[in-house]
Structure 1
Amino acid sequence: MIVAFYKMYKNRNANKLPVSDDGTPVPVPEESSFDDKRRIELFLKDQIPNTVAVGGYVAIAAITIGCLPLIIPQLKWYYILAAYILAPVLAFCNAYGCGLTDWSLASTYGKLAIFVIGAWAGASHGGVLVGLAACGVMMSIVGTAADLMQDFKTGYLTLASPRSMFISQVAGTAMGCVIAPCVFWLFYKSFDIGASDGDYPAPYAIMYRNMAILGVDGLSLLPKNCLTLRYIAFAVSCAINLIKDRVPKNVAKFIPVPMAVAIPFYLGPYFAIDMFLGSVMLFFWEWTNKAEATSFAPAVDSGLMCGDGIWALPQAVLSLANVKPPICMKFLSRAVNAKVDTFLW
């Protein structure tokens, strides 16, 4: 991001975004098409004043700081204030990355809040509960920023007013503040939420709680050599990125992007299979008809990705045939792993 901002600042006079501060018409580059001129005109006509944005954020922060400690006494006001001070930077990063990749990392930034604020509170002051609550606050801010930016992008493409879209977002959020707790309370009273053998085991709740415990109690709970492997993976990914940026383009296209390699580990193998098959299809499509592929590939890609249509049918066939994966991998604590090894040997 620092390198990208430096390049943008260095070339700031080469390609300026036509934004007006006083509401007067702005010149549009001559090379822009009629559709682009129309979109820019409508998108910039109903801008949301900065005072409204900053004032609304401050008001929401004040309400949160005043109300959340009443619900969760361990969550002190300064923890929430720290989260709201840090959140705009992370929200910008998430919105920027989501606009480029359509992949929101709100949960990752929430985990950062778990570790930082949970460790800050400490075990003696309810650090686990404080970390989980701070995670919820951070994910709400960062996730909403990415969703809103995606909606603005859709509004720009469809000639919708940004102000009307923002008002709709506010109305929908206000409805969610009432509807979501009611739905949760209905499930909570009707089912045994969190039971491993129930209809709603809530596996993410266990995962996030364990992460909060890890953030409070430290790295001693990690399996042996886990941290060493993370150091190695981090160093290798940085080295691969550096090499990819430095070698010629005809060589760099054969070097994998570490983030793209990490996505299947995060989301599951179905994503990797979908992307692999889609890349092969796109390669042959560009080989046979490059103009048609350039025009229609985004629409076809969107349909296949949204419908998860490539791997869904083979996965269903394998499930009906009761085919099991050839390898079973488990992650156990050091003590349980020692017991398993003793039992096996």
Structure 2
Amino acid sequence: MSPPSSPSSSPPSQPSSSTELTGRAILIGLIVGSLLCFTNCYFGLQSSWISMSSMQSALVGYGLVKLLPRTSDEDTEGAIALPSDQGEDAPASPSSLFWRYFGTGRFTPQENVVLAATAVALGSMPLTVGLIGIVPALAQLKPERDHGALPVYLTGWHLLLWCAALSFFGVFFASPLRKRTIVKEKLVFPSGTATAHLVGVLHGTGVREDRLAASKQQQQQRPGQEENGANDEQPLLNTGVNEENGDPHSAVVGQPAWTALIWSFLASLAFTFSSALLPVLYVMPVFDVLPPHNLARVWGWYLTPSLSYIGQGIIMGLHTTASMLVGAIFGWAFLSPLAHNSGWTDAPPMDAESGSKGWILWISLAIMTAESFVGLAVIFFAEVTSQSIRTSSSGDDEEDEPSSRLPPPRTIIVGLALSSLFAVGTLYALFGREGIEPYTTVVAIVLAFALSVLAVRALGSTDLNPVAALGKMSQLVFAILQPHNIVANMIAGGLCEAGAMQSGELLQTFKTGHLTGTSPRSQFWGQLMGSFAGIFVSSYAYQLYTKIYTIPSPSFPAPAASMWLNFARLVNNGEVPRHSTEWMVGCGAVFAVTGTIKAVAQARASKRSAGDPVAPWERWAFYLPSGIAFAVGLLNTPNFSIARFIGGVVSHLWMRNMPGAGSSASSSRILIIIVASGFVLGEGAGSIINLFAKQAGLRPLSCAGCRGGCGGGC
């Protein structure tokens, strides 16, 4: 196999979009996306944290396609014909027609990007349609606290209609924003850029250089990084491949790498199934050796040696996971005992309603909201003041793709109109005027687009999609439009979050496509197909989890649902637990300051040219904790943060001891991503097996050692 081609500033030859949107790309994208959907539903209900998994989709999808018949390293065209790509008459043989559309021969980088776009659209559906937050929150309504609102249980056709109503806004929002953010302003979209380079390494090809963003990523020193490039917090994947040291392709996608993926997947799957038989494996009371010897049952301190959470920590990195661990220690070793022993709560510490577990949730909410708001403000100010600089070149004002490779404008307009009408009618039919007024739904859709612009800019600059803050911002608006209506507040906020989250993440895949020369039209259709399939897969997954497990429960506390419900109660009732206001204001103020410092440092770094000096304060700003990660540490019991921190340490040690540059470094980085992906997907697959096993009557063999948090059959 020839080595990767050298990147250049000129676009590569553009294949027809009909050679990219192949049946095998869509089929494998749907398979990978379905696994991600179950996995994200599982992890979201456990800890509120999900992954868009574009890199994992490209990795796993690449391996699965290689198992298909008639897939080789030879160039053979085969694709679904699009309206603008009609060519010669199709072969007369039905078999030839099938293989032409399904795809044969070499699996191209462009097909892999379409595969990833399809998988991301489907896999992110649990967050897009609120299955980890709003839907379980609606089921926790209490008439005595929520102005007479009864619990709302969405099941069967009602849940399908709900998912359909929220599934398509982001796709139609994302396409019009592509030209402005990616082509003209050249926002970095770090995860999308990293996925593009990963695809380039997997397929042994280069990527199209983004003349502004990619060059900055390659040359720019990050705050806190030494001039020689030695930094413990290196990214897991370089933005370029040093080709002088040989071909990285064979080292990455050869037998050792796929063996590592299979074994990491099987190890995580085996642990997940074993923990269903022996629940203590998942919640080890290792801290009960310390006084008062009831830290697991009473205070929530236990260890979950989950390979999936370790894998998440590897992908997140040490800085993020360390911020989570510090947040967990602050919340569960200091705030929780303080609130309980001071008499500020009226229930045992682990009670999510009236105990200190529910009390510290408000502090988490304040920190998350404060840092997200100030970060958005700084990013927005920086983007506005520098917009003229970005678009000063006349060449940047031109679209880089012919119209035949762009999403059809008429389809976008008609699709947005129809999906909006469908949402208005469906939500009114499901909830009635007592739930949400039609005009409120219309306002929510309009506001969703405005918030999508903010989400895309934040994600493009920082790799963080602040949907939590944007959702809370929208709840403030709807508390005015329909006051004292908790149901309307959460539904309308969910519409806004759906648009902002999905459009932001799909812009990441458009960035990947931009760097790999993939047709935006092919990605658009892949996203639509992934979103459509996600309606059925996500609703089925959620109904399975809620049928087999109690939600909320120790096993699935659904912390995101508590966040949505409590904030809706706050903006409609103004009630917070005793003495939480002072801590909310104090902690929110601290992280507003640190968030401002970090956001300003990131904004300055994104505009710094190679060789420009880095101010000392920018260096130490990098080491300030992430407020979002800190808040997640408060929100979840410590076991999740401990496991992720272990993964962060593993990632840190791996990066320090791997080769310093060249193809060996890229191979090492990708190898650990492969192992981490196997860990995450293994537990996701294991959770599906456990679902059906429990449905068939499987119960734990023994509950010995369980002292709290086991849930399930114990």
Q: Which TM bucket (shorter chain)?
A: 0.5 to 0.7
TM-score normalized by the length of structure 2? 0.35
Q: In structure 1, the residue corresponding to 2:449 is in which secondary structure?
A: helix
Return the match for 2:538 from 169, 180, 183: 180
CA offsets per residue over residues 142-165 of structure 1, 9 Å max, x none? 222123212223333444322122
C-alpha spacing 1:64/1:95, structure 2 compared with 1 (3 Å): same
**What is the match of residue 96 of structure 1?**
457
Structure with a larger share of its residues in helix: 1
Q: Is residue 69 of structure 2 the alignment partner of residue 69 of structure 1?
A: no
**What is the match of residue 388 of structure 2?**
9
TM-score normalized by the length of structure 1? 0.66
Give the RMSD, CA atoms, in angstroms.
3.9
Give me the whole-angstrom Cα distance separating, in 2, the residues matched to 1:263 and 1:88: 23
C-alpha spacing 1:203/1:166, structure 2 compared with 1 (3 Å): same
**What is the match of residue 218 of structure 1?**
574
- Offset at residue 98 of structure 1 (A): 2.9
Return the match for 2:529 from 146, 160, 171: 171
C-alpha spacing 1:159/1:133, structure 2 compared with 1 (3 Å): same
- Structure number with the bigger relative contact order (C-alpha 8 A, sep ≥ 6) is 2
Return the match for 1:251 from 616, 625, 645: 616
Q: Is residue 627 of structure 2 the alignment partner of residue 262 of structure 1?
A: yes
Q: How many correspondences in the alignment?
A: 285
Q: Is residue 440 of structure 2 the alignment partner of residue 84 of structure 1?
A: no
CA contact (8 A) 2:479 2:571 kept: yes
The letter for the 1-side match of 2:626 is V
Give me the whole-angstrom Cα distance separating, in 2, the residues matched to 1:135 and 1:113: 5
Give me the whole-angstrom Cα distance separating, in 1, the residues matched to 2:575 and 2:415: 39
Which is further off, 222-231 or 250-259?
250-259
The letter for the 2-side match of 1:261 is S
CA offsets per residue over residues 212-239 of structure 1, 9 Å max, x none? 1112112654714134312343245435
**What is the match of residue 129 of structure 1?**
487
CA offsets per residue over residues 276-303 of structure 1, 9 Å max, x none? 6645654666xx7355687567646744
**What is the match of residue 562 of structure 2?**
206
**What is the match of residue 316 of structure 1?**
none
Q: Is residue 19 of structure 2 the alignment partner of residue 19 of structure 1?
A: no
The letter for the 2-side match of 1:116 is V
CA contact (8 A) 1:116 1:215 kept: no
What stretches of structure 1 of length at least 5 have no aligned partner?
21-39, 313-321, 323-345
CA offsets per residue over residues 255-290 of structure 1, 9 Å max, x none? 2248852243144445566556645654666xx735
CA contact (8 A) 2:601 2:621 kept: no
C-alpha spacing 1:203/1:238, structure 2 compared with 1 (3 Å): closer
Which is further off, 265-274 or 93-102?
265-274
CA contact (8 A) 1:193 1:202 kept: no
The letter for the 2-side match of 1:52 is T
Q: Is residue 629 of structure 2 the alignment partner of residue 289 of structure 1?
A: no
Q: Is residue 514 of structure 2 the alignment partner of residue 151 of structure 1?
A: no
Give me the whole-angstrom Cα distance separating, in 2, the residues matched to 1:4 and 1:53: 26
Give me the whole-angstrom Cα distance separating, in 2, the residues matched to 1:201 and 1:11: 45
**What is the match of residue 109 of structure 1?**
470
Which is further off, 93-102 or 146-155?
93-102
Q: Is residue 431 of structure 2 the alignment partner of residue 60 of structure 1?
A: no
Give me the whole-angstrom Cα distance separating, in 1, the residues matched to 2:428 and 2:464: 32
- Offset at residue 176 of structure 1 (A): 2.4
Q: Is residue 515 of structure 2 the alignment partner of residue 196 of structure 1?
A: no
- Offset at residue 70 of structure 1 (A): 1.6
Give me the whole-angstrom Cα distance separating, in 1, the residues matched to 2:537 and 2:651: 38
CA offsets per residue over residues 37-92 of structure 1, 9 Å max, x none? xxx66x87501244432332232112211220221122111221121111112212
The letter for the 2-side match of 1:118 is A
Which is further off, 160-169 or 241-250?
241-250
The letter for the 1-side match of 2:392 is N
Give me the whole-angstrom Cα distance separating, in 2, the residues matched to 1:152 and 1:290: 28
CA contact (8 A) 2:428 2:437 kept: yes
Give me the whole-angstrom Cα distance separating, in 2, the residues matched to 1:44 and 1:284: 48
C-alpha spacing 1:258/1:2, structure 2 compared with 1 (3 Å): farther
CA contact (8 A) 2:391 2:397 kept: no
The letter for the 2-side match of 1:196 is S
Give me the whole-angstrom Cα distance separating, in 1, the residues matched to 2:444 and 2:656: 45
CA offsets per residue over residues 227-255 of structure 1, 9 Å max, x none? 43123432454356558859951514422
CA contact (8 A) 1:237 1:258 kept: no
Give me the whole-angstrom Cα distance separating, in 2, the residues matched to 1:241 and 1:139: 22
Give me the whole-angstrom Cα distance separating, in 1, the residues matched to 2:561 and 2:443: 24
Q: In structure 2, the residue corresponding to 1:254 is in which secondary structure?
A: helix
C-alpha spacing 1:153/1:129, structure 2 compared with 1 (3 Å): same
Q: In structure 2, the residue corresponding to 1:52 is in which secondary structure?
A: helix
Give me the whole-angstrom Cα distance separating, in 2, the residues matched to 1:150 and 1:283: 28
Give me the whole-angstrom Cα distance separating, in 2, the residues matched to 1:253 and 1:303: 32
Give me the whole-angstrom Cα distance separating, in 2, the residues matched to 1:138 and 1:207: 16
Give me the whole-angstrom Cα distance separating, in 2, the residues matched to 1:8 and 1:293: 38
The letter for the 1-side match of 2:385 is Y
The letter for the 1-side match of 2:582 is N
CA offsets per residue over residues 91-114 of structure 1, 9 Å max, x none? 122233334444433343223323
What stretches of structure 2 of length at least 5 have no aligned partner?
1-379, 606-611, 634-640, 684-704, 706-714
CA contact (8 A) 2:569 2:575 kept: no
CA contact (8 A) 1:98 1:146 kept: yes
C-alpha spacing 1:57/1:260, structure 2 compared with 1 (3 Å): farther
Which is further off, 99-108 or 80-89?
99-108
Q: In structure 2, the residue corresponding to 1:196 is in which secondary structure?
A: coil
C-alpha spacing 1:239/1:195, structure 2 compared with 1 (3 Å): closer
The letter for the 1-side match of 2:416 is Y
C-alpha spacing 1:184/1:238, structure 2 compared with 1 (3 Å): closer
